[in-house]
Structure 1
Amino acid sequence: MIKLLYSAVLLLLTPVSLLYFLLRSRKDPAYRQRLSERLALQRVPKQAVGGIVVHAVSVGEVVAATPLIKALQQQYPELTLTVTCTTPTGSSRIINSFGASMHHCYLPLDTPGAVRRFLSKLQPQAVILLETELWPNLLQQCRQALIPTVVVNARLSARSAKGYRRWYGFSRLALDNISLLLAQDHATARRFKALGCKADIQVCGNLKYDMLLPAQHAALVSQFQPPLSGRQVWVAGSTHAGEDELLLQAYQQLKPQFPQLLLIIVPRHPERFNTVAQLISEAGLSYLRRSDSGTVTAQHDVMLADTMGELLAWYQLADVVFIGGSLIERGGHNPLEAMYFAKPIQSGRHVFNFAYAYQWLAAEQALSWVADVPSLVQSTAQLLTDSTLAQQQGSKAQALYQRHSGASKRMCQAIAAYLGEGIADFAVAANAEGISWYQRQVFTARTQLSFAPQHWQQQQAIIGQSQGRNTAWFVRHLQHKFVLRHYYRGGLIGKLVTDKFCYQSVLYSRAMQEFALLRQLRRYQLPVPRPLAAHYYANGLCYQSDIMVELIPGARDLATLLGAAEALSEAQWQQLGRLLGRFHQYGVYHSDLNCHNILLDSEGRFWLIDFDKCALRHAGSWQQDNLARLLRSLQKERGLQPGFGWQPEHWQWLLAGYQQQFGG
């Protein structure tokens, strides 16, 4: 119900959102450009299909994500990353930072249709979200399509956690659908666990300690260094309403003592640029707007930095840095850029959004707390007068920054470990014959891939076939052996329409769902065959599908084995019971759990196969129904095959192993 309400509200607000972009475009024309991407109506280049999506909401998050994106590009050099954001400034930063080395577009609005189009067009192997970008429809549809979702650099303050608990039903839409969550600190990890987040949660540190300077940074610093020579520079970064007034009053009191002092104000939000300009004018101070492209002179008291993406340059040029959002109950802003440049830092006490960073700074005596105009005046005067103190504070802050670096490497390693095998050599091919997913390690050229049994017969590569209701072909290709299976309908309708299914987009087709599910089960280290390729062909209102999975060497299905009067030992039945318990603990629903879909290999290991129409579910009565289905299949085969090596007491052995897995 909550999901439907959320989606309905978003659909109703879609025209409002588009109108908002148009209104914003009066000041920034970029907001009315690429509107098709807001609804995922754009074309996607073929090289971007089958890659990894990384989402960073705006320019600050893009800066933070840059070292991780570069690490992922090195980890998966054959894949094209799609880097998304929601703002024009973020978009500009992505393009400037990565150029043609990745695909870029806006993340669409979180409506069901837009998200479905976005995922179906890109068919990503994973979606990586930065910090707090937890969009319910995106996360839910990724789960339905069996696309792993990773939240990196996650942070959750105590205040935000209270909000999540207050809106618990809504929060569950997101928290129940995260695969891997990489937290900045242990407190964040504890809070997400306390909220019932079911993700694999790890602590990897803060990406912002791995900052990479943008390409244009050095040129910008070089441009402004000469006119600022001889000036003492006080930078107030990311300021909010209620702070600029205090800073201007403090500046007026400092000016007589420090006649060469220049205050650079960098408002957090562009819509406040004109308001801050009016405040400076009303204070009777001479100022320059950065957007006017003029040059700072000795007559200027204040520079209004009313352009985006240049905060790092102002911090590097500063003698003292004030971090905004901290004199009011906004929660503060990230001090890490100032720490990187070894600057003495000032902040108000309202820093709950970055509590750990400020606690560490305070513990190292690398921070000056301020609260009002008198404390701003006192602190700034002290730091401008006592260069030794300023240098010591800056050096301690920089050393702290360096001690906490390395998060991007840890996160990349955690992501690679979670995603597991087959990511780097995964490929998607689309042509008139349909869409194919395949592993390049097995099919080194697209021309080697065929889902037609006749092709493999001509290659004399068929090494066997199954004897079930529909034929599955066993194929040898180079050093690989695999099973090729076409999807057929069952039941009465299967007699009328043998192999055509009602239209579904590619991600939700039978073959791609089974392929993706097998990959996920192998991430859980469950014994299932490795998926090698899948095929989807849509024709009008129908589609057809095929899949290739690795052949389990030396394995026989349980029905064949027991039919040959080869009884399993009590230990083996318990082993099988424990294995089924493991599958159920991971929420694996097998729609056709029977003795034909359980294999025993030559090394005594059990495997489960044939995951068509299977799914991941929350615990429920289906688990006992699963076991009951297996019991019925054993009873049926016992009635059909004289000497079948199964007796009712063997079922109790299996149940004993199953209960052991659950601690019974």
Structure 2
Amino acid sequence: MPKLLYNIGLKAYRAAIAIAAPFNQKARLMREGRVKQFENLRQALQHNQAPVVWFHCASLGEFEQGRPVIEAFREAFPGYKVLLTFFSPSGYEVRKNYSGADFIFYLPLDSASNARRFLELVQPKLAVFVKYEFWHYYLQELHKRNIPALSISAIFRPGQVFFRGYGGFYRTILRNFTHIYTQNQESAQLLQSINITHASVAGDTRFDRVLQTAATVKTIPVVADFVQQQEVFVVGSSWPPDIEVLLPLIQKYRQHIRFIIAPHEISESSIGKLMEQLGEGAIRYSEAVEAGAANVNVLVIDNIGMLSSLYSYGTYAYIGGAFGKGLHNTLEAAVFGLPLFFGPRYSKFEEAKELVALGCAFPVQDAAGLLAAFEQVHLTPGLRQSISEKEKHYVKQKAGATATILTDVKRLLKQTA
């Protein structure tokens, strides 16, 4: 029955994409990206003589999580080709020209026939799935073909279907992995409780990624001109509920602190509404490129891909999403030692909980709470420096997952050579 429900769910998902495609950009991109994909994949690979390793990420966040492993792999194995697949347009459309992979495609939707056809074409020596990707037919087919399959930066919680009495089918999916590298000990213990013993704690590869980013941070001339050596409050991946909470703080301090806002949604309607809320003294990044930004106090980022570099200009950071579905990436800001503020929904994010426990991050319930938490840090001499030192140390001591995983990758490829 669970397998039947899984198959029904896949068919319903395909149908929903087809129905939504004319009206929804994400659905349209998902559908268009998978047109003739097997033929395109065949053409891309037809002259390739090198062995292939396949990395799969659901979306952009998982890509950033897997990126340190991809790049470390390329450096260690220059004779291999890297195939990178995405499930979602938010990953593929942003990273379809990523130079760290030789072939980049959408993953064909999970089915027995698609899995067989895909693996016949690719013939990977190894498959690496990042964080939450658990596709039954792909993993089953990899297992049948004796192709090693790894899950990296995986994290599990007691409420997930794997740990329920009716979760036998989903536990079978996990058993088809050669090894599962978890982010923390709790996840490894949960797997142990259902007799999944091919798992170990490696840590979260995002710590390696943000340290890489901080070491190679990009200078952004427009932002440097805007900052003018003042304190800077960076707002990353904000949604409308975040902005509602932030507005009183912005209005109170905008004459003394520069604000950089990078919204999660950058459609014209979303940016237009945000500009109306901010009023006079705010400018879009695209306009500031021509007009300059030295004489305004709020800079709104209307593009994608700059946020990790923007945090390097920050003094404080607010991370969006935790008044909605969930908190966005805190580590991109934490690596620079910024005191962090965010909404109340962060319990599923291990690093956020740890940063709160360290006194480096401050969850808030509303605008008044944000203002009080900010002023506690802003007006207490020495507190910001103390937070910065603790936070940077925290990030550095959590690094190393990439090296752990790559050691096993080398062993597995040696066995399959």
Q: TM-score, normalised by structure 2?
A: 0.85
Indicate conservation of the 8 Å contact 2:34/2:108, yes or no: no
Partners of 2:38 and 2:110 lie apart in 1 by: 9
Q: Which letter does structure 2 place at the counterpart of 1:381?
A: E
Question: 1:448 maps to what in 2?
Answer: none
Secondary structure, in 3 states, of the residue corresponding to 1:156? coil
Indicate conservation of the 8 Å contact 2:59/2:90, yes or no: yes
Q: Which letter does structure 1 place at the counterpart of 2:129?
A: L
Measured at CA, do residues 174 and 76 of structure 1 come closer, stay the same or move farther in structure 2, by a change above 3 Å? same
Indicate conservation of the 8 Å contact 2:217/2:312, yes or no: no
CA offset at residue 242 of structure 1?
2.4
Measured at CA, do residues 226 and 293 of structure 1 come closer, stay the same or move farther in structure 2, by a change above 3 Å? closer
Secondary structure, in 3 states, of the residue corresponding to 1:42? helix
Question: 2:180 maps to what in 1?
Answer: 181
The partner residue of 1:354 within 318, 338, 349 is: 349
Measured at CA, do residues 30 and 127 of structure 1 come closer, stay the same or move farther in structure 2, by a change above 3 Å? same
Q: Higher RCO, 1 or 2 (CA under 8 Å, sep at least 6)?
A: 2
Greater share of residues in helix: 2
The partner residue of 1:290 within 278, 285, 291 is: 285
Indicate conservation of the 8 Å contact 1:266/1:305, yes or no: yes
Partners of 2:9 and 2:153 lie apart in 1 by: 29
Question: 2:144 maps to what in 1?
Answer: 144
Partners of 2:190 and 2:303 lie apart in 1 by: 36
Q: Which letter does structure 2 place at the counterpart of 1:243?
A: D
Question: 1:207 maps to what in 2?
Answer: 205
Partners of 2:342 and 2:238 lie apart in 1 by: 11
CA offset at residue 151 of structure 1?
0.4
Indicate conservation of the 8 Å contact 1:244/1:276, yes or no: no
Partners of 2:11 and 2:381 lie apart in 1 by: 57
Partners of 2:89 and 2:237 lie apart in 1 by: 18
Larger Rg, first or second structure (1 or 2)? 1
Secondary structure, in 3 states, of the residue corresponding to 1:309? coil
Secondary structure, in 3 states, of the residue corresponding to 1:353? coil
Deviations 1:420-448 (A, max 9, x none): 6344xx4xxxxxxxxxxxxxxxxxxxxxx
Partners of 2:37 and 2:163 lie apart in 1 by: 27
Indicate conservation of the 8 Å contact 2:82/2:103, yes or no: yes
Measured at CA, do residues 95 and 150 of structure 1 come closer, stay the same or move farther in structure 2, by a change above 3 Å? same
Secondary structure, in 3 states, of the residue corresponding to 1:110? coil
Q: Which letter does structure 1 place at the counterpart of 2:311?
A: Y
Measured at CA, do residues 164 and 49 of structure 1 come closer, stay the same or move farther in structure 2, by a change above 3 Å? farther
Segments of 5+ residues of structure 1 without an aligned counterpart are: 427-664
Q: Which letter does structure 2 place at the counterpart of 1:333?
A: H
Q: Report the count of equivalent residues.
A: 412
Partners of 2:190 and 2:108 lie apart in 1 by: 29
Measured at CA, do residues 112 and 288 of structure 1 come closer, stay the same or move farther in structure 2, by a change above 3 Å? farther
Question: 1:316 maps to what in 2?
Answer: 312
CA offset at residue 74 of structure 1?
3.2
Measured at CA, do residues 265 and 226 of structure 1 come closer, stay the same or move farther in structure 2, by a change above 3 Å? closer
CA offset at residue 96 of structure 1?
5.2
Secondary structure, in 3 states, of the residue corresponding to 1:218? coil
Partners of 2:28 and 2:214 lie apart in 1 by: 24
Q: Which letter does structure 2 place at the counterpart of 1:361?
A: L
Measured at CA, do residues 390 and 193 of structure 1 come closer, stay the same or move farther in structure 2, by a change above 3 Å? same
CA offset at residue 204 of structure 1?
0.5
Partners of 2:141 and 2:286 lie apart in 1 by: 42
Percentage of identical aligned residues? 24
Indicate conservation of the 8 Å contact 1:325/1:332, yes or no: yes
Secondary structure, in 3 states, of the residue corresponding to 2:332? helix
Secondary structure, in 3 states, of the residue corresponding to 2:113? helix
Indicate conservation of the 8 Å contact 1:39/1:109, yes or no: no
Question: 2:130 maps to what in 1?
Answer: 130
Q: How does 1:251-650 map to 2 (within 5 A)?
A: 251-252=250-251, 254-255=252-253, 258-269=254-265, 274-275=269-270, 277-282=272-277, 284=279, 286-291=281-286, 294=289, 297=293, 300-326=296-322, 328=323, 330-355=325-350, 357-386=351-380, 388-417=382-411, 419=412, 421-423=414-416, 426=417
Q: Which letter does structure 1 place at the counterpart of 2:345?
A: H
Measured at CA, do residues 37 and 261 of structure 1 come closer, stay the same or move farther in structure 2, by a change above 3 Å? farther
CA offset at residue 400 of structure 1?
0.9
Question: 1:66 maps to what in 2?
Answer: 67
